Copies of this chain bind each other. A is one copy, B any other.
Amino acid sequence: MPNFDDFQQANASFASSFQDGDKPMPPARKALVITCMDARIHPEKALGVAIGDIHVVRNAGGRAVDAVRSVTISQQLLGTEEIYVIHHTDCGMLTFSSDQLRGIVKERLGHEDHTHYHEFSDLEASVRDDVKLLKESALVRPGTAIRGGIYDVTTGKVAWLQ
């Protein structure tokens, strides 16, 4: 694994100056951020949060549909009260259809694939859809404050939706 030695070395250096070993399990800021797995997003840096501050859920696209299990645990067991859904410019989810990807899986891996990959064609609509999904979910606390935003990978700026 080409990156393993680098990760191991970097982690040893990180641990050697680690000073946050006393933080409790519940997030200090009582907030949860849902965002994309994209390599260009470092959510803690982009929002200025410290170790122990917020829960971060990430998946392809930052889709809420994959996040409900985590949100329920975060709210009901660990006391988070606010949710931020942040998608981003130049997202891979804008570049393919589930049909196309199922075709690629069939061709390369030799399996029939029935996955819905939850791609989208309109970035702002995808954020609004995910905020709505969470607001309407039977497993999300009614009245939870949920805010959507779009991270610009070229500027590092989050544009918050109204």
Report whether B60 and A59 are in contact in the complex, using a CB–CB cutoff of 8 Å.
Answer: no
Complex interface: chain B residues within 8 A of A117 (CB): 69, 72-73
Query: CB of A123 within 8 A of chain B?
Result: no
Interface size class of A (residues with CB under 8 A): 35 or more
Complex interface: chain B residues within 8 A of A82 (CB): 1-4
Report whether B111 and A156 are in contact in the complex, using a CB–CB cutoff of 8 Å.
Answer: no
Chain B minimum-CB-distance residue to A27: B39
Which among B13, B21, B145, B156 is the interface contact of A153 at CB below 8 angstroms?
Answer: B21
Known: A59-B70, A156-B21. A10 touches B111 (CB 8 A): no
Query: CB of A66 within 8 A of chain B?
Result: yes
Report whether B69 and A115 are in contact in the complex, using a CB–CB cutoff of 8 Å.
Answer: yes
Which among B9, B21, B69, B138 is the interface contact of A59 at CB below 8 angstroms?
Answer: B69
Query: CB of A141 within 8 A of chain B?
Result: yes
Q: How far is the CA of A12 from the CA of B76 in the complex (A)?
A: 32
CB-CB nearest 3 A-B residue pairs: A10-B48, A18-B156, A27-B39
- A interface residue numbers (CB < 8 A to B): 1-4, 6-15, 18, 20-23, 25-32, 37-40, 42, 44-49, 51-60, 66-70, 72-74, 76-78, 81-82, 84, 90, 92-93, 95-96, 101, 104-105, 108-109, 111, 113, 115, 117-118, 138-139, 141-142, 145, 147, 153-158, 160
